[in-house]
Amino acid sequence: MHKLEFRPFDIEAIRKDFPIFTTDPPLAFLDNAASTQTPRPVVEAMDAYYDTYRSNIHRGIYRISEEATEQYERAREKVAQLINAPRSRQVIFTRNTTESINLVAYSWGSTNIGEGDEIVLTTMEHHSNLVPWQLLAQRTGATLRFVEITDEGLLDFTQLRDLLTEKTKLVAIGHVSNVLGTINPIQSIIDMAHAVDAKVIVDAAQSVPHFQVDVQQLDCDFLAFSGHKMCGPTGIGVLYGKSELLEEMPPFLGGGSMIRSVERDVSSYAELPAKFEAGTPSIAEAIGLGHAIDYITQANLAAIHVHEQELLKYAHQRLEQIEGITLYGPAPHQKMGVISFNMEGIHPHDVAGILDTHGVAVRAGHHCAQPLMKRLDVIATVRASLYLYNTIEDVDRLYEGLCRAQKLMTRRKIT
Ligand code: 7TS
């Protein structure tokens, strides 16, 4: 059996920062691909805003508003540093990945996509990186093209090469699949897309929280992710874009804060990033995200990745021992800590329900990836997903819960 070594960081110290794990026995929280838990330093930073300097930003001439503005903008700088954006003005705060992708689909899409143009996606996209492009295609007469996946859960590169033509205007690609965990080779895909003059938006909702993503090295045109999947609060997300694209794009939402001057019939717009941040933003949440970035960078993203990979290998070894289990997706070394599976003869929702009674939180359903479910020929899967605070004991509890589910359902079949 694979030997675990948790030397890179102090898992016990990390777990102490998350009060949700102080129950006995502790909750085995394995639904991190949906949303992660929040450590105390993040909650405390948000409390400090509410308790000591709560006020609106970019408009007050008094001390606490200046403090709030400074903290909000510092959070933007932390995001820029995390993803190595050249300038913090290229970081737009949104509500989540979904809003970031919709911003690009409406603003960039409405001025750059027309009839006959093609948008290349994959069959493993989350609905957030599919429905906005369907809406854009319906508005403009553009066509969606899909890269299929192999039986191993990897992208079919030969087909991708054929799909990319001079008609391709955009490639919208998930960095890591939220169902299969597949790590897509986006560097090659970006290079191939640029070779036919297409732009690339990377859905990084499942990658930025788990390993170092460098937008300059990737040379991606846009990149989107959510704060709540990386120890941050809900209600805050990020869109990164290349300056020249963001500068040319029309506003997405109109209102306060995004204007330079307003006449009765027309307005001129503020500089980046304000142009895309209409209305009062999620101030406490942005500050919380900044502190979540501090937290995961202090824990060390490289160490988090190693830790998750170790647990993932261990989880595969254990789950593969269970009779009648089908694991979806590639081998551990080609994926992140996401394990989708089904148990023969047991509905995924029943599996998740039984695991819940065993203190194990997993997700069951289509995971907002219905075209992928169709490709896998299933209606749903059970999904366990890992993060920095998960332990070998969590995986063992998952294994034991699944054995229990199997026993229960087998007994039910006999009677
Ligand atoms: N893209 C991917 C790859 C995702 O996994 C998710 C959320 C999104 C986009 C949308 O993020 P949001 O913050 O805008 O909601 N994924 C999941 C999931 O797998 N289970 O719940 C949410």
| Distance, CA of 347 to CA of 331 (rounded, Å) | 24
Is the CB of 34 within 6 Å of ligand 1? yes
Q: Does the Cβ of 388 fall within 6 Å of ligand 1?
A: no
Q: Which CATH class is domain 45-297?
A: alpha beta
Tell me whether residue 368 is one of the annotated catalytic residues.
Answer: yes
Ligand 1 mean position, distance from CA 59 (Å): 33
Ligand 1 pocket, residue 33 CB under 6 Å: yes
**Two tokens, residue 129:** 């990186």
pLDDT at 409: 81
Q: Is 174 in the pocket of ligand 1 (CB under 6 A)?
A: yes
Distance 52 CA to ligand 1 centre (A): 33
Ordered by start, the domain boundaries in the chain are: 11-35+300-410, 45-297
Q: Using most ligand atoms within 8 A of CB, pick from 93, 100, 101, 126 the residue to mutate for ligand 1.
A: 126
**Ligand 1 centre distance from Cα of residue 232 (Å):** 14
Summarised one tens digit per residue, pLDDT across range 277-317 is 999 999 999 999 999 999 999 999 999 999 999 999 999 99
CATH classification (class only), 11-35+300-410:
alpha beta
CA distances 75 to 31, 298, 324, 407, Å, are: 26, 15, 47, 50
| Closest residue by CA, ligand 1 atom 20 | 34
One DSSP character per residue, 27-78 reads: PEE-BTTT-----HHHHHHHHHIIIII---SSS--SHHHHHHHHHHHHHHHH
Task: Quote the pLDDT of residue 9.
Answer: 73
Tell me how far the alpha carbon of residue 412 lies from the centroid of ligand 1, in angstroms: 35
Reduced to 3 states (helix: H, G, I; strand: E, B; else coil), residue 8 is: coil
Check: pTM over 0.95? Answer yes or no.
yes
Could you say which residues of the chain have pLDDT below 70?
1-8, 411-415
Q: How far is the CA of 97 from the centre of ligand 1 (A)?
A: 7
| pLDDT computed for residue 162 by the predictor | 97
Q: Is the CB of 226 under 6 A from ligand 1?
A: yes
**What is the number of the ligand 1 atom nearest to the C-alpha of 228?**
13
Contacts of 392 (CB under 8 A, 6+ apart): 4, 311, 314
Query: Is there a common fold for 11-35+300-410 and 45-297?
Result: no
pLDDT of residue 412: 54
**Model pLDDT for residues 360-392, shown as the tens digit of each residue:** 999 999 999 999 999 999 999 999 999 999 999
> Out of 220, 231, 368, 403, which one is annotated catalytic?
368
Nearest residue by C-alpha to atom 17 in ligand 1: 34
